[in-house]
Amino acid sequence: MTMAAAADLATETALAIRSVLIVDDHPLYCDALASTMQSIFHTRRIRTADTLESAMQHLKSRYSPDLVLLDLNLPDVAGLSGFLKIKKKAPEVPVIVISAVSGDGVVEQVMAAGAAGFIPKETGRESFRAALLQVCDGKTYVPPGYEDCRDSQRVDSSSEDIARRISELSHQQNRILALICKGKPNKLIAYEMQLAEATVKAHITALLRRLGARNRTQAAMMVREVSIRQNLQ
């Protein structure tokens, strides 16, 4: 066997991940991860869960995967609670967090809690492959450009500033913001709160201005990141 062939064989062996548990509440993304694991890492035993509860049921059935791919934003968890419960149940299994919320502060807290890696959801196929290869080699993975939050005062003050702005919203604005975070359109918000749609729009304009957010999506992301950081502490 040539040295090149031996290197290829070693790479194939390193890339073999026999079983994985994918925990994500977005069906298409979950299917894409499963397909990627099959094609790149030759994974044959793949289980999926769309809630923490169903993930825990898998782990309680004596199933011990080689790896867990976990989305932080599940419908039945807040912050790192899902991650911590999975690590408590399966402490020897490496858990890689995959999330759309990828600020340095969130990455820092996730890694400090014992994650094997953090992969932003926008990561491409080759970068995903490199990340898992690094974890399989016993190392940890963080996204390129991640800066260790040594300047904690800067991060905390930013988080505290957003939390302060949210606390200064009126009761009605807070209720509307909570419904925005659930993905409710203006018409449903107006129906649930028994308000005119024009009134809802006015409240949204005011709360976006107070939060310093450009749109509803950015406002929801700000709330989610602050919530994750507060639950991590």
Give the pLDDT confidence of 62-115 residue by residue, as tens digits: 788 999 999 988 988 877 888 989 998 998 899 999 998 877 778 888 888 889
Q: pTM, whole model, 2 decimals?
A: 0.62
Q: Is 17 exposed, middle or buried (0-12, 13-18, 19+ CB in 10 A)?
A: buried
Predicted local distance difference test score (pLDDT) of residue 228: 62
Domain 3-136 listed as CATH 3.40.718.10: no
In the block, which residue shows the tokens 């807290």? 109
Structure-model confidence comparison of residues 222 and 128, the more confident one: 128
Summarize pLDDT for 201-215 with one digit per residue, the tens: 888 888 888 888 878
Predicted local distance difference test score (pLDDT) of residue 4: 43
What is the architecture of the domain spanning 152-232? Answer: Orthogonal Bundle (1.10)
Q: What's the Cα-to-Cα distance from 91 to each of 13, 88, 120, 160, rounded to whole Å?
A: 24, 5, 23, 32
- CATH 3.40.50.2300 boundaries in the chain: 3-136
Specify whether the CB–CB gap between 72 and 81 falls below 8 A: no
Predicted local distance difference test score (pLDDT) of residue 7: 42
User: pLDDT confidence of 147, banded at 50, 70, 90?
Assistant: low
Listed range (4-8, 42-46, 79-83, 175-179) with the worst mean pLDDT: 4-8
**Which distant-in-sequence residues (6+ apart) come within 8 Å of 215 by Cβ?**
208
- CATH 1.10.10.10 boundaries in the chain: 152-232
219 closest CA partner among 171, 190, 179, 177: 177
**Residue type at 20 in one-letter notation:** V
Summarize pLDDT for 3-30 with one digit per residue, the tens: 444 444 444 444 568 999 999 999 999 9
CA distance 96 to 65: 13
